[in-house]
């Protein structure tokens, strides 16, 4: 006769198998948000991942993004100004994450990293999901990895979908794992 714990385990396994990749990623984000306190996300857009990370977080999640109204990405994954104007991005973000303890920082990834470095702030978790071209992901990893506490979680999105992300992560974080769909992660 299976115990209630056995039944629960089977149910959880079935749920995981049936979930979409995005649902798996968001479950992982929420779990990491719950188990890490001081977190920074680089590239938040309208807040889908930010909210998943922050929803059970008991500390603070800093969200870094330009939220520029005319931002778009090219076919390498690099974001730049001068694309189609999609207005009110920061307002959309703020509305979507209402109720969570999130501090938006409207600036570039490297500007934000320099501010935290100057203040001596350290993070329990970094999640990188800004520009996806090789040079940008490399810059982001190099800028943010030193801002993690020992044992902190370095992670990011789109390893399996963007060549630039894969190349930078393979080169700079060779010990990474893929804990959920397209998310790469390692403990430093």
Ligand X SMILES: C[S@@+](CC[C@H](N)C(=O)[O-])C[C@H]1O[C@@H](n2cnc3c(N)ncnc32)[C@H](O)[C@@H]1O
- Report the alpha-carbon distance of residue 134 to residue 70 in Å, rounded: 22
129 binds ligand X (CB under 6 A): yes
Q: Nearer Cβ to ligand X, position 3 or 68? A: 68
Q: 163: alpha, beta or left, given left = phi > 0 and alpha = psi -120 to 50?
A: alpha
Matching residue, tokens 């076919």: 75
- Identify the DSSP state of 77: S
Which one, 19 or 48, has the nearer CB to ligand X? 48
Query: Distance between CA 79 and CA 45 in Å, rounded?
Result: 12
Contact between 182 and ligand X by CB under 6 A: the answer reads no
133 forms part of the interface with ligand X (CB under 6 A): no
CB of 13 to ligand X, least distance (A): 26
| Number of shown-chain residues binding ligand X (CB under 6 A) | 16
Touching ligand X, residues 25-84 (CB under 6 A): 43-45, 48-49, 64-66, 71, 79
**Identified binder of ligand X from the candidate list 38, 55, 108, 186, rule CB under 6 A:** 108
In the three-class reduction of DSSP (H, G, I as helix; E, B as strand; rest coil), residue 28 is classed as helix
Q: Nearest Cα to 125, choosing from 46, 28, 47, 45? A: 28
Q: Is 105 in the site for ligand X (CB under 6 A)?
A: no
Contact window for ligand X (CB under 6 A) among 2-10, 123-131, 147-155, 170-178: 123-131
Nearest distance, CB of residue 26 and ligand X, angstroms: 9
3-state helix, strand, coil in the chain (%, to 5): 45, 25, 35
Binding site for ligand X (CB under 6 A): 43-45, 48-49, 64-66, 71, 79, 108-109, 129-131, 157
């Amino acid at each position: 006769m299976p115990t209630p714990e056995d039944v629960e385990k089977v149910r959880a396994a079935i749920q995981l198998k049936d979930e979409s990749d995005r649902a798996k990623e968001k479950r992982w984000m929420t779990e990491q948000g719950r188990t890490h306190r001081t977190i920074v996300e680089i590239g938040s857009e309208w807040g889908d991942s930010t909210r998943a990370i922050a929803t059970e977080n008991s500390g603070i999640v800093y969200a870094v993004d330009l939220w520029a109204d005319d931002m778009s990405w090219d076919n390498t994954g690099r974001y730049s100004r001068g694309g189609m104007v999609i207005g009110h991005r920061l307002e959309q973000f703020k509305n979507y994450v209402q109720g969570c303890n999130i501090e938006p920082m409207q600036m570039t990834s490297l500007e934000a990293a320099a501010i935290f470095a100057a203040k001596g702030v350290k993070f329990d978790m970094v999640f990188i999901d800004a520009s996806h071209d090789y040079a940008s992901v490399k810059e982001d990893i190099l800028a943010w990895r030193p801002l993690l506490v020992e044992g902190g979680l370095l992670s990011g999105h789109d390893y399996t979908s963007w060549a630039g992300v894969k190349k930078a992560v393979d080169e700079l974080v060779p010990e990474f794992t893929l804990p959920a769909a397209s998310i790469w992660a390692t403990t430093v």
